[in-house]
Amino acid sequence: MPSNAKIVISQFGEAELLEILDADIPSPQSGEVLIKVSYAGINPIDVKTRAGLGWAAQHNKNNLPWTPGYDVSGVVVKQGEGSKKFNLNDMVAGFIGFPLRGGGYSQYVCVPENELALVPEDISLKPAAAIPLAGQTAAQALEKAQIQSGETVLILAGAGGVGHIAVQIAVAAKTKVFASCSESNLSYVESLGATALDYSKPDYLQQLGSVDVLIDLVGGQTAIDAMACLHPGSRLVTVPTITASQVCEEASKRGIIGMGMLVEPDVTQMEELLGLISSGMIKVQIEQVVSYQNVVDAHKKVETGRARGKILLDMQG
Ligand SMILES: NC(=O)c1ccc[n+]([C@@H]2O[C@H](COP(=O)([O-])OP(=O)(O)OC[C@H]3O[C@@H](n4cnc5c(N)ncnc54)[C@H](OP(=O)(O)O)[C@@H]3O)[C@@H](O)[C@H]2O)c1
C-alpha cells in the first residue's frame, strides 16, 4: 500500500516541532471522498495553532498529534458510500474541516463531499489551494462591511493572503480602494487597482481624507491608528480575532461601527471565487510553493507576516 505522509503537531511550540509521519491511507466514510492532495495552503491560523495560540489550539490540546491544514486541492481517488457529487479523477478544492478537524497537510485526506468544489479545467490546482480560507475571508469581510459602489475603502495589509483578494473584489465592486503595504509591495498593490500606501511612513494615511469602510487585516494599535481617517458612521471590519474586542471597543467610543468576524466555510462562495479566477477577475498571488518536506521553512516564512499573497505546500512525491 502506498504511504500517506502527513504533517502533525505533537506538541505546541516552534516550527521545528512539526513532524512528518507515515500513516495509512484512510478510507472514505459515507458521504466522503478520498482526495490525493496536490497542494495545501498555509494560513496564519495554522502557524498560531502550532505555536499553541488561539482557540483551535485550545480545543485540540487533548487531541494531539493533530494535522493542520484547512485549504486543499487535489484529485478524487475513492468515493465513500452514497457519495455522488464527484466522479473519480475530478479535480476538487475546499476549505475543509474548519475549525477543529483540519487535516489538509496530508498526502491523502477524507473529506465530506459537501465541503468541496469542482475545480474548473482552466484553473491550476495551485490557485485552487490558495483561495479557500483567504478568499472567503476577503469576500465575507467585504460583505459584512456592506461596501457600496462609489465608497472609499481602506484595506490594511493589501499584499497579504486575504488582502490581495479583498483589494481585487473591492475594486471590482467599483469602490475607491486604498491599501497599506511596505515599500517593496507598492507597485504590486497598485497593479491590483488600489492606491497603495507605504505604512512605514508616519503620515501614510494623511492624504486619504475620510474613509467609509476600513477592512483591518493587521489588528491592534495599527487598526486603532487607522481610525483617524474614519468618521462617525464609518464601518470597520477587524479580521484578526485576537485584538478584535480591543479594536471594536475603540471604534464604538468614536461612533464607528466596528465588527469582528470569523470566516465560515461556504462551498457556493468557493465556487464563485473559482469562477472569478477562471474569468481572470481575480489573480491569485502565490509567493512560494514549498515541498511538504520543508514545512518548517514554510511555517517560518508565514510567521514573518511578510508573505506576498500565499505560500503553498506541495504534498506530492
Ligand atoms: N477572523 C478570521 O476568520 C480570519 C480569517 C483569515 C485570517 N485572519 C487573520 O487576518 C490576518 C491577515 O491574514 P492573512 O492571511 O492575509 O495574513 P498574511 O498573508 O500573513 O499577511 C501578510 C501581509 O501582511 C502585510 N503586513 C504586515 N504588517 C503590516 C502592517 N503593519 N501594515 C500593513 N500590512 C502589513 C505584509 O505586507 P508587507 O510585506 O508589505 O509588510 C504581508 O503582505 C491574520 O492575523 C490572520 O490570522 C482571520
In tens, the pLDDT along 71-99 reads: 999 999 999 999 999 999 999 999 999 99
Report CA(84)–ligand 1 centroid distance (Å). Answer: 37
Q: At what angle do helices 267-278 and 132-144 cross, to 10 degrees?
A: 100
Q: Is the pLDDT of residue 279 over 70?
A: yes
Question: What integer pLDDT is reported at residue 171 of this predicted model?
Answer: 98
Which is it for the CA torsion 173, 118, 104, 111, positive or negative? positive
CB 262: neighbour CB atoms within 10 A?
12
Question: What integer pLDDT is reported at residue 224 of this predicted model?
Answer: 98
What is the position in ligand 1's atom list of the atom closest to the CA of 222? 31
Q: At what angle do helices 132-144 and 161-172 cross, to 10 degrees?
A: 50
Where residue 317 falls among pLDDT bands split at 50, 70, 90? Answer: confident
Q: Is 92 in the pocket of ligand 1 (CB under 6 A)?
A: no
Pocket test for ligand 1, best of 239, 245, 263 (most atoms within 8 A of CB): 239
Where residue 209 falls among pLDDT bands split at 50, 70, 90? Answer: confident
Q: Is the pLDDT of residue 204 over 70?
A: yes
Q: Are 5 and 20 in contact (CB under 8 A)?
A: yes
Q: Is the pLDDT of residue 43 over 90?
A: yes
Domains of the chain by start residue, with CATH: 4-131+284-314 (3.90.180.10), 134-260 (3.40.50.720)
Report CA(286)–ligand 1 centroid distance (Å). Answer: 15
SS3 149: coil
Q: How far apart are CA 67 and CA 54, in angstroms?
A: 16
CA dist 119 to 28, 73, 201, 276, Å? 20, 8, 41, 12
Segment 227-233 shows an average pLDDT of: 96
Cα 262 versus chain centre, distance: 12
Pocket test for ligand 1, best of 46, 55, 165, 182 (most atoms within 8 A of CB): 182
Q: How far apart are CA 141 and CA 124, in angstroms?
A: 26
100: Cβ contacts below 8 Å, ≥ 6 apart: 56, 59, 60
Segment 200-216 shows an average pLDDT of: 93
Where residue 29 falls among pLDDT bands split at 50, 70, 90? Answer: very high
SS3 236: strand
Segment 105-109 shows an average pLDDT of: 98
Report CA(218)–ligand 1 centroid distance (Å). Answer: 6
Report CA(120)–ligand 1 centroid distance (Å). Answer: 28
Segment 99-128 shows an average pLDDT of: 97
Q: Is 153 in the pocket of ligand 1 (CB under 6 A)?
A: no
| Mean pLDDT computed over every residue of the chain | 97
Q: Is 251 in the pocket of ligand 1 (CB under 6 A)?
A: no
Query: What burial letters (b/e) apply to 69-103, b meaning 16+ CB within 10 Å?
Result: bbbbbbbbebbbeebebbeeebbbbbbbbbbebbb
Q: Is 18 in the pocket of ligand 1 (CB under 6 A)?
A: no
224 Rama class: left (phi>0) / alpha (psi -120 to 50) / beta = alpha
302: Cβ contacts below 8 Å, ≥ 6 apart: 42, 43, 44, 46, 47, 311
Report CA(209)–ligand 1 centroid distance (Å). Answer: 24
Q: Is 307 in the pocket of ligand 1 (CB under 6 A)?
A: yes
Pocket test for ligand 1, best of 49, 137, 242 (most atoms within 8 A of CB): 137
Q: Is the pLDDT of residue 1 over 60?
A: no
CA dist 259 to 25, 133, 214, Å? 42, 19, 10
Q: How far apart are CA 289 and CA 309, in angstroms?
A: 12
Segment 35-48 shows an average pLDDT of: 98
The pTM for the full model equals 0.98
Report CA(41)–ligand 1 centroid distance (Å). Answer: 15
Report CA(243)–ligand 1 centroid distance (Å). Answer: 13
Q: Is the pLDDT of residue 2 over 80?
A: no
Question: Counting Cβ atoms within 10 Å, is residue 272 exposed (0-12), middle (13-18) or buried (19+)?
Answer: middle
SS3 50: helix
Q: Is 41 in the pocket of ligand 1 (CB under 6 A)?
A: no
